[in-house]
Amino acid sequence: MRVFNRVFMIVLFAGLFVLGVYTVVFAFDLFDYRLESLPITNLANGLQDFVGNVEDGGLSVTTQALLVLLAILGLLWFISELRPSAPRRVRMGKGTYVTRSVVQDQVATVAEEVPDVLGSSVNVKARRSPGAQVGLEARVRRGEELGTIKSNLQSTVRERLSAKGLPVSKLNVKLVEADPRQTKTRVQ
Amino acid sequence: MAALATEGVYSLGRGRFVEAATYEGVEKVSGVVVTPEDLEIHIVARYPLPSPIPEIAENIRERVAPEAGGRKTTVIVDDLEVAVDEGL
């Protein structure tokens, strides 16, 4: 959301800057640009018609739908702005935090110690409540018993991390069949 | 020093996103952020861990409590470091 806000503000300020330059140019009749030459009368008439239609309740269905859509978008934006941003560190308990990279390294280490796993990639998200949300993608050989490996991997990771006091509140394991020649480890 | 002497602490951390340090005059203490109400201790834990991280954190809190002056102490594990003598 921060990136979106930044982009939005940059575009807004760039627009205001351009508008300011045009205002100065037209206000002082620079480069043969004159205020009278602008189609302001048409714009003003159009605006007056629109406001008149709103007052009379005579807006077209498309315009009404567009206005409702704008209102919903504004509301959604407002709600998303009110939501607090995700914490950067994983909360462990009373006054103890651990960085995401520590959890990430530990999950990868444990996963790669499981005999069937040839390589892994880990994504860790911190949550407001204690414990990390972990997404583990493990690469295994083709033709292996995926269900067994998955449950084994899940229990091993949870067990080992819990022994180290690293809380995992959610663990998503995804197994990807891979060619051992293209993985970190060929043989376990 | 009390935090450093705790078992399982390899060194004081420097912070991952912003530098964790306290400045007083020309002196700078890295790894500790002291505010009037809070005390934040950043550590790099020794790997393999001698005990679970919450236990190490609790030991640190106990050790620094006499110096903390009633501040709320937060322990942050910035990283894990394999000790040289472990040969991993």
Query: Residue B19 belongs to what domain range?
Result: 9-82
Q: What is the CA radius of gyration of chain A?
A: 29
Count up the domains in chain B and report the number: 1
Please report residues of B whose CB lies closer than 8 A to that of A96: 53-54, 57, 74-77
Q: A95 and B16 in contact by Cβ < 8 A?
A: no
At A114 the pLDDT is: 87
Task: Place B87 in a pLDDT band, splitting at 50, 70 and 90.
Answer: low
What whole-number distance in Å separates Cα of residue A166 and Cα of residue A130?
10
pLDDT in tens, B35-46: 889 999 999 999
Q: Note whether A56 and A49 are within 8 A (CB).
A: no
Q: Pick B53's closest partner by Cβ from A92, A95, A101.
A: A92
Asked, for residue B48, whether it belongs to a domain, the answer is yes
Per-residue pLDDT in tens (0 to 9) along chain A, 188 residues: 678 888 989 999 999 999 999 888 888 878 878 777 777 778 878 888 888 888 888 788 888 899 899 999 999 988 988 888 778 889 887 888 999 999 999 999 999 888 888 889 999 999 888 889 999 999 988 888 888 999 999 999 999 988 888 888 899 999 988 877 777 665 55
| Nearest C-alpha neighbor of B54 from the set A126, A134, A99, A92 | A92
B49 falls within a domain: yes
Q: Considering the domain boundaries, does residue B62 fall inside one?
A: yes
A102/chain B closest Cα distance in angstroms: 6
In A, minimum Cα distance to B80 occurs at A102
Q: Which residue has the tokens 């322990």?
A: B75
Q: State the pLDDT confidence band at B15, using cuts at 50, 70 and 90.
A: confident
Among the partner-chain residues A95, A98, A105, the one whose CB lies closest to the CB of B53 is A98
- Specify if B33 maps to a domain: yes
Residue A43: the pLDDT is 80
Closest partner residue to A165 among B52, B74, B76, by Cβ? B52
- CA dist A154 and A111 (Å) reads 9
Asked if B72 and A95 come within 8 Å (Cβ–Cβ), the reply is: yes
pLDDT score recorded for residue B75: 92
Q: Is A55 helix (H, G, I), strand (E, B) or coil?
A: helix
> Which residues, in sequence order, are bridge partners of residue B73?
B39
Q: How many cross-chain Cβ pairs, A to B, lie less than 8 Å apart?
A: 53
Half-sphere exposure of A162 (CA within 13 A, CB side): 10
Confidence tier at B86 by pLDDT (50, 70, 90): low
Name the residue with higher pLDDT: A19 or B15.
A19
- Closest by CA position to B54, among listed A119, A23, B62: B62
Residue B60 lies in a domain: yes
Q: How far apart are CA A122 and CA A140, in angstroms?
A: 15
All domains in chain A, ordered by first residue: 2-82 (no CATH), 89-182 (3.30.70.1350)
Is there a domain that residue B15 lies in? yes
Query: Residue B75: inside a domain, yes or no?
Result: yes
- Local confidence band at B60 (pLDDT 50, 70, 90 cut-offs): very high
Contact A139, A176 (CB under 8 A): yes
Cβ-defined contact of B49 to A164 (cutoff 8 Å):
yes
Residues of B in contact with A164 (CB under 8 A): 49, 52-53
Task: Judge whether B66 and A179 are in contact, CB under 8 Å.
Answer: no
Two structure tokens written together for B46: 């020794």
The 3-state secondary structure of A138-180 reads: EEECCCCCHHHHHHHHHHHHHHHHHHCCCCEEEEEEEEEECCH
The nearest CA of chain A is from the CA of B7 a distance in Å of 14
CB-nearest partner of B54 from A93, A99, A105: A93
Chain A residue numbers with beta carbons less than 8 Å from the beta carbon of B16 are 88, 99, 101
